[in-house]
């Protein structure tokens, strides 16, 4: 189905982004997977191309573009022609907005120029070894000591954990309140801030995921992001966009897998004819085509709602739920249609299959998405008893 949300300037921008991904990102994917990490220089190149933090203020080197359709295009083209492990979406669309929206003038002037240029790579640290997504059970602590905060604790499964120069760290600052959390900007080189293992994952091999440790890290008061004790509220405010960013990526990778498979079933022959000519193949490809169009339309509408400030937590959760579940079904069917080749690491569809397994887990599991949607319907046991 023809998508109707984009205008001519979006399509021109897409052409330039596609060229960048095809020349600077895609050709390096194999090497990055072997190394387990993306080159830092790629962020610098993306910054020079104007692809990082499109919303960034012009005084800091940004384009000042608040239209999220442009960000959507960057995510889509990276998934199609770049590499899923190049976490430009995490840097630009998930972490940088914390500084852009919550940072004071001094913080924005100090950090945003490097963030926009790609010199400063970002990460966010919420998940802990024993609590997972349960922020109320967070054990990392920060205690106020004069003009600084003493930070202690550990985080795990942190994307950009090795490359990250500035990490937005969530820590408990009020032990008497389950949601008494604050956010801190922890910088590379701070005494007591240590990286643990670069974790070996099922998929996303080129994306560096790591453990982080904070041992009496003295975080200056100037690195407190927003107000103390308001971190849980800030995290909740950002989650709708985070889940929409995820949904954009999921539907883009599912569409890419479909395109690869459509080409394959037209060329691969069995019993004297292309396997795409068999009714089972034809019907399943048709079903996927219809479902992909339906989900893409939903995601596009969510982007427009985000632009107008109307995207709800429930809508974003539904987008994340539906696209991640659809991506899983599409990947499984596409691997099946590739036959034995689909199980071989040298085929992109095999790598995409393992990459996609995390989609139903991170940014909130499918089960959590169902809880959010259900509570939005008024089906909340805390309020129904």
State yes or no: is 381 an active-site residue.
Answer: no
| DSSP H/E element including 150 | strand 148-159
- Report how far apart, in Å, the C-alpha atoms of 44 and of each of 85, 106, 116, 187 are: 16, 23, 9, 19
User: Can you tell me the distance from the alpha carbon of 293 to that of 184, in angstroms, rounded to the nearest whole number?
Assistant: 41
Nearest to 241 by CA among 80, 84, 127, 89: 89
The backbone torsions φ and ψ at residue 322, rounded to the nearest 5 degrees and listed phi first, read -65, -40
Query: What angle, rounded to 10 degrees, do the helices at 68-81 and 279-307 form?
Result: 150
Q: Among 24, 77, 211, 242, which one carries the catalytic annotation?
A: 242
**316: Cβ contacts below 8 Å, ≥ 6 apart:** 239, 240, 241, 243, 244, 247, 302
Contact between 111 and 30 under an 8 Å Cβ cutoff? The reply is no
| 23-52: b (≥16 Cβ within 10 Å) or e | ebbbebbeebbeebbbbeebbebbbeebbb
* Cβ-Cβ contacts under 8 Å for 163 (sequence gap 6 or more): 37, 38, 40, 121, 123, 208
> Using CA atoms, how far apart are residues 201 and 217, in angstroms rounded to an integer?
28
* CA–CA distance, 365 with 324 (Å, rounded to integer): 10
Please list the active-site residues. 242
């Amino acid at each position: 189905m023809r998508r109707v949300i984009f205008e001519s300037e979006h399509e021109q921008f897409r052409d330039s982004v596609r060229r960048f991904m095809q020349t600077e990102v895609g050709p390096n994917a194999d090497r990055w997977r072997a190394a387990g990490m993306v080159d830092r220089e790629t962020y610098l190149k993306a910054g020079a191309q104007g692809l990082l933090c499109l919303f960034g203020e012009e005084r800091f080197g940004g384009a000042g573009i608040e239209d999220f359709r442009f960000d959507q295009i960057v995510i889509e083209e990276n998934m199609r022609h770049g590499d899923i492990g190049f976490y430009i979406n995490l840097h630009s669309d998930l972490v940088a907005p914390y500084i852009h929206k919550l940072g004071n003038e001094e913080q924005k002037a100090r950090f945003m120029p490097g963030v926009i240029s790609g010199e400063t790579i970002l990460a966010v640290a919420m998940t802990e070894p024993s609590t997972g997504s349960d922020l109320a059970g967070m054990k990392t602590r920060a205690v106020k000591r004069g003009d600084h905060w003493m930070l202690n604790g550990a985080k795990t499964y942190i994307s950009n954990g090795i490359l990250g120069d500035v990490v937005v760290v969530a820590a408990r600052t009020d032990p008497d309140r389950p949601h008494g959390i604050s956010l801190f900007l922890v910088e590379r080189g701070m005494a007591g801030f240590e990286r643990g293992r670069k974790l070996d994952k099922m998929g996303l091999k080129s994306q560096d995921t790591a453990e982080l440790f904070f041992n009496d890290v003295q975080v200056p008061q100037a690195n407190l992001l927003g107000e103390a004790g308001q971190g849980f509220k800030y995290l909740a405010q950002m989650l709708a966009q985070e889940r929409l960013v995820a949904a954009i990526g999921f539907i883009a990778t599912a569409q890419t897998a479909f395109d690869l498979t459509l080409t394959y079933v037209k060329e691969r022959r069995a019993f004297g004819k292309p396997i795409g000519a068999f009714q089972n193949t034809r019907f399943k490809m048709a079903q996927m085509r219809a479902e992909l169009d339906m989900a893409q339309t939903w995601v596009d509408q969510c982007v427009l709602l985000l632009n107008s400030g109307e995207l709800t937590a429930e809508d974003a959760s539904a987008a994340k739920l539906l696209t991640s579940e659809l991506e899983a079904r599409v990947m499984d069917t596409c691997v099946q249609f590739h036959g034995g080749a689909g199980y071989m690491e040298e085929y992109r569809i095999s790598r995409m299959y393992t990459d996609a397994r995390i989609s139903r887990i991170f940014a909130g599991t499918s089960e959590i998405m169902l809880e959010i949607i259900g509570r939005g319907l008024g089906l909340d046991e805390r309020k129904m008893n």
